[in-house]
Amino acid sequence: MSLGLVVLIPYLGAVLAAWVARFGRLHSAWVAALVAGLALAWLLPHAPTTFAGATVVQRLAWLPAVGLDLAFRLDGLALLFALLILGIGLLIILYARYYLSERDSMGRFYAYLLLFMGAMLGIVLSENLIQLFLFWELTSLASFLLISYWQGREEARNGARMALAVTGAGGLAMLGGFLLLGEIAGSYELSVILASGDAIRAHPLYVPMLVLVLLGALTKSAQFPFHFWLPHAMAAPTPVSAYLHSATMVKAGVFLLARLFPALSGTPEWAWLLILAGGFTLLLGAFFALFKHDLKGLLAYSTISHLGLITLLFGMGTGLAAVAGVFHIINHAIFKAGLFMAAGIIDHECGTRDMRRINGLWKYMPHTATLAMVAAASMAGVPLFNGFLSKEMFFAESVHLSAGLTHGWLLLVAVVLAGVFAVAYSLRFIHDVFFNGEPVDLPRTPHEPPRWMKVPVEVLVALCLLVGILPAVTVEPVLAMAAASVLQGPVPPHDLALWHGFNPALLMSILALAGGLLLYAARKPLFVLADRWQGRLDARALYQRLLQGLFALAGGVTRALDIGSLQRLIALFVASAVLLGAAGFLGGEAPLTGGRALLPVDGVSLLATLGLLAASLGAVALHRRRLAALILTGAVGLVVSLVFIKFSAPDLALTQLSVEVVTVVLLLLALYFLPQRTPAESGLARRGRDALLALAAGGGAAALAWAVLTRPYESIAPYFLAQSVPEGGGRNVVNVILVDFRGFDTLGEITVLALAGLGIYAMLERLQLPGPDRDAEGRPWDWDTHPAIMASLTRLLLPLALLTSVFILLRGHNLPGGGFIAGLVTAVALIMQYLANGAAWTHARLPPNLHPVIGWGLAVATGTGLASWAYDHPFLTSTFGHFDWPLVGEFELASAMVFDLGVYLVVVGSTLLILIYLGLMHGASHVLRPDEEAR
Amino acid sequence: MSHLAIAPVLLPLLAGILLLLLRHGDIRLRRALSVAAVVAEIGLAVALLLAVSGGEILVYALGDWPAPYGIVLVADRLSAWLVLTTALLALFALLHALRGIDVAGRHFHVLFQLQLFGLAGAFLTGDLFNLFVFFEVLLLASYGLMLHGGGRARTRAGLHYVVLNLAGSTLFLFAVGTLYGVTGTLNMADLARQVAAVPADNVPVVRAAGLLLFGVFALKAALLPLHLWLPAAYAQASAPAAALFAIMTKVGAYAILRVSTLMFGAGAGPLADLLGGWLLPLALATLVVGMLGAVASTRLRAQVAYLVVASAGSLLTAFGLNTADSIAAGLYYLPHTTFAAAALFLISDAIAGRRGELADRFEPGPALPAHALLGGLFFVAAVAMAGLPPLSGFLGKFLLLRAALDHPWWPWVLGTVLAGSLLGLIALARSGSLLFYRARPAEGAPPPRQAGLTAELAPFAGLLLLGVGLTVAAGPLSDYARATAEQILQPYHYVHAVLGGGER
């Protein structure tokens, strides 16, 4: 996996660079240079085979089942890009070491830079498209960090977020495109995809896939209408701009076009999308570049324009155009990196980048000026410099293309016009900055920068000249190698020479040069015009509006939905339940009433039902008089327990009864802290909605119950009846179900009860609530806190009640009763002591510490269950036996009774805990009151 | 006999009981006990996972009562996967709490362990009513944990949470009662059998009951429009509680998946594919609304809570597509999103704790102590949560989208998931930028080096490492997820394991 290591090395280096920064400012720079050098050294051994035309693919299994492996590919195109990334990267590292000031953190800078370098290498070396996407998004993230390097500056933060949003969005679209491409080609691997171009182009999903993939490429390469992020990314430190916007980040988009050229190109959709986007961008970028007064702004728009040129070339779809595209990628990377560095030097030396102020620098820094002028000439496409060669090829290809189009001359005009503007803005870069009078009001006096800061520029400028003058010797082998892998086939004959004789391309070059000179001469009135247009045609404003729209939409939707209202939550839930139930039931043909015969209606049942209805309606009608409503709700519970009795379920009736009593006491305690009467809070519409919802929900529940009860019933219940005595050892089937057949449910439920107790304790412990001292009618709350008769009576009753509860507990397994009911009875008996005698009196006799009761209750229940492990049976397996004691006689003991004891303890503990703490709050509020009155 | 299937349920229960009995004991002892119990729980979960990874289904009949009469616990790949996710999450949430949050109120450790009891029970039970019981355990324990530490906003959010969920419990009872009334059984495997053979007259009743169950589970899973309880509740809970709650929506998603594949799967005759047409559109809408909420949030904690809603949307989209590939994608994504959300809750706490009055509001404030470290870690967690490369969220999303391409609605799924990712990216970039970049330089002397910052961030780092592990071991883990999906899409195995070959 040596290719994988090339990608990995910068990542490891990033960590190292960040770490060594603590030992000294410059250590990070050295580490970064070493790391880039090491990656280069790791890559170069592959170069000879790649130059020979071989493609190396290395693979490491990752998610083989879905065709996602770590797969790296080195072919001509990948090697070219890797060399650009590492080579220019090394120069940038050297340059940045002098560029960054004392206040800038070197460690952070080089760490981010290396992260970015690794991500870029990952893109160009990927064999798998999904892996390519992975690194693609990493470049977006790393560029976010790099652009926002000067975090204190608002334009840096905004520029970074804009770049991330635009390129991130494009990347996500591209992922969608890659998924479709993988589906079409049957693989995410480039080897397969590049070989199945015809099948891909013929597929019905070709167009959506192409659009999505191109969205990724065009956003990354800052093509119209996504170009606007790039100028704002200029808020980054200049080394970052020099790196990202010459050889790397923005080149990733055109890299993708080159990479997928054999698979996707050659259709009208491909051609039109790219020619339109590229052509428009070419012209637009060149136009705006001329009118930017900011040095880096000029270069940014020039970059956009040159990327448009490359996009246009790939859009043409011919082999020669692709060769020209690759060639211009190389040339642009070289001269633009040099220009950015020169601009950085000027900025560094002058303290400003405004070309209206920096003039006549030739006198102050002739060396830098020479370098910059060479690079700018290359940008303009002047002969003898490398930019001229690829631009000639571009002109030639445009002529070729326009011949086949009905309005081909339009393209030629546009291309020449872009050339004119390119010459003009290059001239402006040279003339405005280095000549054109004296500097205006510069913060500092410029002079030549440190020697080594110029070295990277010198290297690049030398390359401009070497390629420009001796193309066949210098660049041709690299170009041939890269073009061969772009085309995945033979490279069409092309002649890299300065002189091709008189032809339309040369004529266009001459026109561009002459026109550019004229245009620059007439610049002054144009600038005035341009300043007036400022901000008219601004895609960034559109982006801002989109973003503001998004935030407004998000805020609107979120606030409209989430108003923090419990009523709304409940209403939505009830409505959903009604809808779901209705949708489920109405979807079929079956009748609501099933086939089961109905029981005859008897008078008592009718009466009870009427009572139930009356109580329910009364509770609704009186719901704002809480005490009355509570009493009526209690009546509902009592009728329910009567129903249980009618259907021969004494256990349930007993449970219901005791639960009802405890609940009412509890609610009474809670109501004490609420106002006696609630004012009407909802409007009529709201109440109408709620009434409708309630009717629908109640009707739905009734319909459901009706549907179930009228249908034949056949269940697992007979098993319980049959097995209760022989296997469960108890004649009270309900109790055996609770403690044995479904003892695990009961264990869960007593845990719930325990949690309720502990939770309420935890909540109430520190709560201070003011309690009212008068009731709704204005009477004092109580006349006699502890009435003597009640106190004496409850004291007398206590042993009786406790005895009863023990009795209920013990007989539970065979007769109505059990731990749950017994626990409630005990709790009620003890609560009576509190009510009658007060907390102080009761606490003196009965420690209020109920946590151990709950804890031991749970422990006993769980322990009973665990005991069966000792006999190699599952948890909660029960056993029972018959014993014969003198005097007592024969009786039965079941392990489930121990479990029931646990239930009993938890019920007593939790119920009392809740009631006592609510009651104590009541007491606390009373004790507080006199002090407050005193104030 | 082997008690492995019940051990992960009983261990936290026992630990909870012990901690309750030791409530006045030395806090160090209780902390050690609590941590030891969770570590042991991880061990048990791993053992369980290994025991079922070959496709075996462990059935544990409580009280030795045969199914369908008694309650059974059933451990298959799906249950084991979720139990392990829970246990791993719990360890780091707990470690974060040990730095003092656990003594801000009563019974933190008891509630925490009982919450784990409820989670493990819910994932392992094979009985519908028992599932209800464990939902109650979960509800009460989470309510206690949510209120832990007290405070006005917290109490208010807790009230909404508990009232709404009690309504949900009531509906659960309606649904279970209806199912029992018509099919006469509560055992889920038996229900699967009965539902498949339900007479035509009863089909609408069972369908209604099934959809009501779905409503309950959708409430737990925070599916639109029943997601509104979540943002306030999660944003207000203490950090370790919120981190642990990252698994709570997954309980709802698990229940949807279990019930829809087991009881209303392809073999359910006229009731097959009960949720088709409901789940997928609602899930996609949840994803969008969650992401919009994240964009609109003005506080970090609320933003993370909305991201949890969005991730529930993604997860349920995967389940709603209802193919082996998509369910596998969802199952691979599930632990990732759980850990990532928990990590964000923990780092939010660390950030909010250093901003004084500003807490986690998106307003520029003074530079934080340990600015770079916190910022870097936030960046990593945000990348994970947004589902960007290189962490496992990206893989989950890739698997999901890849699986979606077979579905007729693929353009919608693709568009929504990708647009959702973009919204998440925009939201997190904004909050990171506001919290870390727009900081005013600290006034006066630089803040003192934060002692114990490393220790404070260790649980957070642990969660991130789990995410890295998910990424590195994506091959075997996604294979496991795939095998899980295949297992649950053939409910015959489950039914057979519980009930044997014969009819009742």
Q: Where are the domains of chain A?
A: 268-528, 717-773+785-935
**CB A742 to CB B203 under 8 A?**
no
User: Chain A: nearest CA to B204, how far in angstroms?
Assistant: 5
- What are the backbone angles phi and psi of residue A57, rounded to the nearest 5°? -125, 125
Please give the pLDDT value at position B440.
64
The answer on pLDDT for B449 being more than 80 is: no
Q: Which residue of A has its CA nearest to B104?
A: A762
Burial class (CB in 10 A: 0-12, 13-18, 19+), A409: exposed
User: Chain B: nearest CA to A413, how far in angstroms?
Assistant: 39
**CB B200 to CB A590 under 8 A?**
yes
User: Chain A: nearest CA to B391, how far in angstroms?
Assistant: 9
Q: Which residue of A has its CA nearest to B128?
A: A745
List of chain B residues whose C-beta atoms are within 8 Å of the C-beta of residue A767: 150
- What are the backbone angles phi and psi of residue A502, rounded to the nearest 5°? -75, 125
User: Chain A: nearest CA to B54, how far in angstroms?
Assistant: 18
* Cα(A415)–Cα(A282) distance, integer angstroms: 8
Average pLDDT over residues B383-399: 88
Coil/strand/helix, residue A503: coil
Q: Tell me which of A68, A576, A858 to substitute to probe the interface with B (most B C-beta atoms closer than 10 Å).
A: A576
User: Chain B: nearest CA to A751, how far in angstroms?
Assistant: 7
**Mean pLDDT value across chain B:** 89
* Cα(B279)–Cα(B61) distance, integer angstroms: 33
Q: If residue B134 lies in a helix (H) or strand (E), which one and from where to where?
A: helix B128-147
Find, among B105, B18, B8, the residue nearest to B58 by Cα. B8
Q: If residue A68 lies in a helix (H) or strand (E), which one and from where to where?
A: strand A68-74
Q: If residue A880 lies in a helix (H) or strand (E), which one and from where to where?
A: strand A880-885
What count of other Cβ atoms lies within 10 Å of the Cβ of residue B405? 17
- What are the backbone angles phi and psi of residue A56, rounded to the nearest 5°? -100, 130
Coil/strand/helix, residue A882: strand
What count of other Cβ atoms lies within 10 Å of the Cβ of residue A188? 27
Peptide bond into B225 cis (omega under 30): yes
**CB B13 to CB A759 under 8 A?**
no
List of chain B residues whose C-beta atoms are within 8 Å of the C-beta of residue A179: 398, 401-402, 405, 414
The answer on pLDDT for B298 being more than 60 is: yes
List of chain B residues whose C-beta atoms are within 8 Å of the C-beta of residue A68: 395, 398
Chain A / chain B CB contacts < 8 angstroms: 342
Asked if A221 and A253 count as a contact pair (C-beta separation under 8 A), the reply is: yes
* Cα(B241)–Cα(B237) distance, integer angstroms: 6
**CB A586 to CB B204 under 8 A?**
yes
User: ∠ CA A609-A614-A619 to the nearest 5 degrees?
Assistant: 130
Coil/strand/helix, residue A152: coil
Coil/strand/helix, residue B362: coil
Residue B58 pLDDT level (bands cut at 50, 70, 90): very high
Residue B462 pLDDT level (bands cut at 50, 70, 90): very high
**CB B201 to CB A595 under 8 A?**
yes
**CB B21 to CB A852 under 8 A?**
yes
Segment B158-172, tens digit of pLDDT? 889 999 999 999 999
* Helices A129-147 and A249-259: angle between axes, nearest 10 degrees: 160
Coil/strand/helix, residue A218: helix
Find, among B258, B282, B312, the residue nearest to B485 by Cα. B258
Residue from the list A558, A714, A875 with its beta carbon closest to the beta carbon of B62: A875
DSSP codes of every residue in B146-191: HHTT--HHHHHHHHHHHHHHHHHHHHHHHHHHHHHHHH---BHHHH
**CB B62 to CB A851 under 8 A?**
no
Residue from the list B16, B69, B295 with its beta carbon closest to the beta carbon of A554: B295
Please give the pLDDT value at position A932.
38
Residues in CB range of A666: below 8 A, 6 or more apart: A914, A915, A918
> B13-52: b or e for each residue (b if 16 or more CB lie within 10 Å)?
bbbbbbbbbeeeeeeeebbebbbebbebbbebbeebbeeb
Asked if A291 and A526 count as a contact pair (C-beta separation under 8 A), the reply is: yes
List of chain B residues whose C-beta atoms are within 8 Å of the C-beta of residue A748: 121, 130, 133-134, 136-137
Burial class (CB in 10 A: 0-12, 13-18, 19+), B53: middle
Show the tokens assigned to A266. Answer: 């050659």
**DSSP character at residue B448:** P
| Domain residue spans of chain B | 1-273, 276-442+449-472
Asked if B12 and B116 count as a contact pair (C-beta separation under 8 A), the reply is: yes
List of chain B residues whose C-beta atoms are within 8 Å of the C-beta of residue A566: 159-160, 163-164
Q: Tell me which of B425, B434, B486 to substitute to probe the interface with A (most A C-beta atoms closer than 10 Å).
A: B425
**CB A716 to CB B208 under 8 A?**
no
Of A519-523, B38-42, B494-498, least confident by mean pLDDT is: A519-523
User: ∠ CA A478-A483-A486 to the nearest 5 degrees?
Assistant: 135
Show the tokens assigned to A217. Answer: 């490429």
Show the tokens assigned to A907. Answer: 């019920």
* Cα(A274)–Cα(A258) distance, integer angstroms: 12
Strands A889-894 and B58-61: unpaired
Please give the pLDDT value at position A928.
39
How many residues are recorded in chain B? 504
Residues in CB range of A245: below 8 A, 6 or more apart: A230, A233, A299, A300, A303, A336, A340
CA-to-CA dists, residue A707 to A592, A646, B216, angstroms: 5, 21, 21
Residue B420 pLDDT level (bands cut at 50, 70, 90): very high
**CB A759 to CB B421 under 8 A?**
no
User: ∠ CA A766-A767-A769 to the nearest 5 degrees?
Assistant: 150
**CB B164 to CB A569 under 8 A?**
yes
User: Chain A: nearest CA to B88, how far in angstroms?
Assistant: 23
* Cα(A36)–Cα(A55) distance, integer angstroms: 23
List of chain B residues whose C-beta atoms are within 8 Å of the C-beta of residue A553: 292
Asked if A311 and A254 count as a contact pair (C-beta separation under 8 A), the reply is: yes
CB proximity A374 to B under 8 Å: no
* Cα(A728)–Cα(B17) distance, integer angstroms: 27
Q: Which amino acid is at A165?
A: A
* Cα(A239)–Cα(A338) distance, integer angstroms: 10
Q: Which residue of A has its CA nearest to B440?
A: A152
Q: Which residues between 707 and 736 in chain A have a beta carbon less than 8 angstroms from any beta carbon of chain B? A: 707-709, 711, 713-717, 719-720, 723
Please give the pLDDT value at position A935.
33
Q: Tell me which of B148, B306, B426 to substitute to probe the interface with A (most A C-beta atoms closer than 10 Å).
A: B426
Residue from the list A160, A709, A741 with its beta carbon closest to the beta carbon of B69: A741
**CB B21 to CB A704 under 8 A?**
no
List of chain B residues whose C-beta atoms are within 8 Å of the C-beta of residue A752: 133, 136-137, 140
Residues in CB range of A176: below 8 A, 6 or more apart: A212, B401, B414, B415, B418
- What are the backbone angles phi and psi of residue B127, rounded to the nearest 5°? -130, 130
Q: If residue A544 lies in a helix (H) or strand (E), which one and from where to where?
A: helix A539-561
Residues in CB range of A11: below 8 A, 6 or more apart: A114, A115, A118
**CB A758 to CB B296 under 8 A?**
no
> B442-451: b or e for each residue (b if 16 or more CB lie within 10 Å)?
eeeeeeeebe
* Cα(B502)–Cα(B498) distance, integer angstroms: 11
Find, among A142, A129, A122, A530, the residue nearest to A356 by Cα. A530
CA-to-CA dists, residue A823 to A817, B13, B21, B46, angstroms: 10, 22, 20, 40
* Cα(A63)–Cα(B471) distance, integer angstroms: 10
**CB B475 to CB A62 under 8 A?**
yes
Segment B185-214, tens digit of pLDDT? 999 999 999 998 888 888 889 999 999 999
**CB B71 to CB A745 under 8 A?**
yes
Q: Which residue of A has its CA nearest to B108?
A: A762
Asked if A353 and A347 count as a contact pair (C-beta separation under 8 A), the reply is: yes
Coil/strand/helix, residue A542: helix
Q: In whole angstroms, what separates CA B101 from the centre of its chain? A: 22
Asked if B83 and B123 count as a contact pair (C-beta separation under 8 A), the reply is: yes
* Cα(A418)–Cα(A438) distance, integer angstroms: 30
**CB A744 to CB B20 under 8 A?**
no
What count of other Cβ atoms lies within 10 Å of the Cβ of residue B68? 25
pLDDT, averaged in runs of 10, over chain A (935 residues):
87 90 86 92 91 89 88 93 94 91 87 94 94 93 90 86 91 94 92 92 94 94 88 90 90 94 92 92 90 89 93 91 93 93 90 86 89 91 88 89 83 90 91 85 84 91 91 89 90 81 86 90 81 66 87 91 87 93 82 83 89 91 85 89 87 87 84 74 84 93 91 86 85 86 92 91 76 70 73 87 89 84 89 81 79 92 89 86 78 82 92 83 53 37
Higher pLDDT, B150 or B250: B250
Q: Which residues between 183 and 242 in chain A have a beta carbon less than 8 angstroms from any beta carbon of chain B? A: 183, 208
Q: Tell me which of B124, B206, B207 to substitute to probe the interface with A (most A C-beta atoms closer than 10 Å).
A: B207
Residue from the list A161, A590, A862 with its beta carbon closest to the beta carbon of B203: A590
**CB A741 to CB B211 under 8 A?**
no
**CB B69 to CB A720 under 8 A?**
yes
The alpha carbons of chain B give a radius of gyration, in whole angstroms, of 22
* Cα(A52)–Cα(A481) distance, integer angstroms: 8
Q: Which residue of B has its CA nearest to A595?
A: B201
Please give the pLDDT value at position A661.
84
Please give the pLDDT value at position A536.
57
Residues in CB range of B333: below 8 A, 6 or more apart: B311, B314, B315, B318, B392, B393, B396, B397, B399, B400
**CB A704 to CB B208 under 8 A?**
yes
Q: Tell me which of B140, B308, B405 to substitute to probe the interface with A (most A C-beta atoms closer than 10 Å).
A: B140
The predicted model scores a pTM of 0.92
